[in-house]
């Protein structure tokens, strides 16, 4: 770890300004930043502690049913928050499926959105990685890539976005709120927030130097039952091999196949960003639950998927998990209160 200066920001504007120079970075929970700084995978020379910023630590609901989540709300608190548990259980479940209680206590909403990949060569200072050193090459493509992406990758990078929370946010259509170095604010839909690697895998999000995430908003929950299924090597404290966040609104038809009114689903663990394909959802909208419809939806979701050896298994695993989650949820609908009223 290189020597850095440490300062605390007391306003968002000040944090944004101080975080602007190259080499400056905000720190929130520090659970990702410090792990990367110690082996010099990142080398910040100025660390700006944003954990004392006022008013970024709450979860609130406005009269139109929108919920606002402050960027500094700890993962643990967010997952346990009554508003989230009641209206966005997919988000609670996704967060609780990640990391460990200790890490979730420290980790923040903003930091979670910006957590870096767990790709093995990315974490290895001795390996080549285009994310760390643009143009260096990628040692995952033909190397240890069991955990890597089958979708959204490029010849430069097949690193998975590992966030569970972001997969739930994707299916919930969250919007991210940012204050820029110039003091202005803007919003970025979660769908656009993470970038595909292309040939600039070092460029991971739409944020620019100095941008501070202040929070995010969730529209009122869509109708349907919310589920998060995370497939992993061990029962806890493991990143996803495949995860599915789904909201399925289906008619319970005891004897016949259930009728799906709408299905939303995003996948994690398999792609360079949270993976959601609107056409795949459309293939199930207003359809009876049939194998054909499910196959169509899975085909569309996984169109273009390609394995790289060790991770080939993720293609059938994603298909099976997605199929099961949709079918199982459609058969067992415990509909959420569509009005979202408490």
Partner 1 sequence: MTDTLPKAPLDTPFGPGIDRVEGPLKVTGTAPYANEHTARRIGSPTHPLVGFMVLSTIAKGRLVSLDTTAARTSPGVRLVLTRDNAPPQNDWGPLVARDRFARSQPALHDDRIRFFGQPVALVVADTLETARAAAQTISATYEPETPAVTLDEKTAIIPPTLNGFKPTRTSIGDFRNSYAASAAKLDVTYETPHQSHAQMEPHATTALWDANGEHVTLWTSNQILNSAQKGIASTLQLKPEQVRIVGLYVGGGFGGKLPWFDDALLAAIAARMLKCPVRVAMTRQQMFTATTHRTATRQRIRIGAARDGHLRAIAHDALSHCASFDNFVEDTTTITRGLYGADAITTSALLNKLDLPRSDSMRAPGDAVGMIALECGLDEIAHTLGMDPVALRLANDTQTDPTAKRPFSSRKLAECLRTGATRFNWSARNPTPGQHREGEWLIGTGMASAMRYNLVRPSQAEIILSQTGHLTVRMAMTDPGTGTITILARIASEATGIPPDRITVTIGDTDFPPAAGSGGSFGAESAGSALYNACETLRLRLARTATTENGPLANIPLSTLSFSNASLTNGTKTIPLTQLVPRDGLTTQGSIKPGNEAKDWSQASFGAHFAEVAVSAVTGETRVRRMTGVFACGRILNARTARSQAIGGMIWGISAALFEANPVDPRSGQFTARDLANYHVASHADAPHIDATFLPEDEPVSNPLHIKGIGEVGICGAPAAIGNAIFNATGIRIRNFPITPDKLLPHLPEISL
Ligand X SMILES: Cc1cc2nc3c(=O)[nH]c(=O)nc-3n(C[C@H](O)[C@H](O)[C@H](O)COP(=O)(O)OP(=O)(O)OC[C@H]3O[C@@H](n4cnc5c(N)ncnc54)[C@H](O)[C@@H]3O)c2cc1C
User: Nearest approach, Cβ of 320 to partner 1 (angstroms)?
Assistant: 5
CB closer to partner 1 out of 206 and 232:
232
> In angstroms, rounded to a whole number, what is the distance separating the alpha carbons of residues 292 and 264?
18
* Closest distance to partner 1 from the beta carbon of 145 (Å): 10
Give Cα 261 to chain centroid, integer Å.
Answer: 26
Find the binder of partner 1 among 159, 294, 297, 302 (CB under 8 A). 294
* Nearest partner of 142 among 18, 293, 310, 3, judged by Cα: 310
Distance CA 54, CA 56 (A): 6
Among 213, 218, 305, 325, binds ligand X (CB under 6 A): 213
CB of 294 to partner 1, least distance (A): 7
Q: Where are the beta strands (DSSP E) in the chain?
A: 5-8, 24-27, 46-49, 59-61, 67-70, 175-179, 185-189, 212-218, 225-231, 242-251, 259-268, 287-288
Q: Does 32 bind ligand X (CB under 6 A)?
A: yes
Q: Among residues 21, 39, 155, 309, which is the contact residue for partner 1, using CB under 8 A?
A: 39
Residue 20 class from Cβ within 10 Å (0-12 exposed, 13-18 middle, 19+ buried)? middle
Nearest residue to ligand X, scored by beta-carbon proximity: 111
According to DSSP, residue 122 is labeled T
Stretch binding partner 1 (CB under 8 A), from 25-33, 169-177, 234-242, 247-255: 234-242
Which residues lie closer than 8 Å to 23 by C-beta, 6 or more apart? 43, 44, 45, 46
User: Which residue among 70, 110, 220, 269 contacts ligand X (CB under 6 A)?
Assistant: 110
Six-digit token pair at 204? 């991971």
Residue number, 111 or 340, with CB nearest to ligand X: 111
| Interacting residues with ligand X (CB under 6 A) | 25-33, 35, 50, 71, 75, 98-99, 103, 106-108, 110-112, 114-115, 162-165, 212-213, 239
Q: Where along the sequence are the contacts to partner 1 (CB under 8 A)?
A: 1-3, 38-40, 118, 120, 123-124, 126-127, 139, 142-144, 146, 231-239, 241-242, 257, 289-291, 294, 313, 316-317, 320-321, 323-324, 327-328, 331
């Amino acid at each position: 770890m290189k020597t850095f200066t440490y300062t605390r920001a007391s306003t968002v504007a000040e944090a944004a300004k101080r975080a602007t120079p190259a080499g400056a970075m905000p720190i929130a929970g520090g659970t990702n930043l410090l792990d990367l700084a110690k082996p010099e995978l990142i080398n910040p020379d100025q660390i700006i502690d944003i954990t004392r910023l006022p008013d970024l630590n709450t979860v609130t609901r406005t009269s139109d049913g929108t919920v606002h989540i402050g960027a500094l709300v700890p993962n643990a608190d967010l997952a346990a928050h009554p508003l989230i548990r009641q209206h966005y259980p997919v988000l609670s479940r996704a967060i609780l499926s990640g990391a460990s209680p200790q890490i979730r206590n420290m980790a923040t909403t903003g930091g979670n959105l910006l957590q870096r990949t767990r790709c093995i060569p990315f974490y290895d200072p001795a390996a080549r990685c285009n994310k760390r050193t643009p143009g260096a090459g990628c040692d995952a493509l033909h190397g240890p890539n069991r955990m890597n992406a089958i979708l959204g990758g490029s010849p430069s990078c097949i690193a998975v976005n590992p966030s569970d929370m972001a997969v739930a946010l994707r299916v919930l259509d969250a919007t991210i709120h940012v204050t820029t170095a110039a003091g202005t604010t803007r919003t970025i839909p979660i769908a656009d927030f993470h970038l595909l690697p292309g040939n600039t895998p070092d460029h991971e999000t739409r944020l620019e130097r100095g941008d501070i995430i202040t929070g995010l908003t969730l529209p009122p929950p869509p109708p349907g039952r919310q589920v998060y299924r995370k497939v992993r090597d061990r029962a806890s404290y493991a990143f996803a091999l495949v995860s599915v966040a789904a909201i399925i609104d289906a008619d319970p038809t005891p004897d016949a196949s259930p009728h799906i009114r709408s299905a939303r689903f995003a996948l994690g663990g398999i792609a360079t960003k949270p993976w959601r394909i609107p056409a795949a959802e459309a293939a199930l909208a207003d359809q009876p639950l049939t194998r054909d419809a499910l196959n169509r939806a899975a085909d569309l979701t996984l169109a273009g998927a390609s394995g790289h050896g060790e991770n080939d298994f993720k293609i059938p695993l994603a298909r099976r998990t997605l199929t099961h989650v949709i079918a199982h949820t459609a058969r067992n609908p415990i509909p959420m209160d569509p009005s979202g009223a408490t």
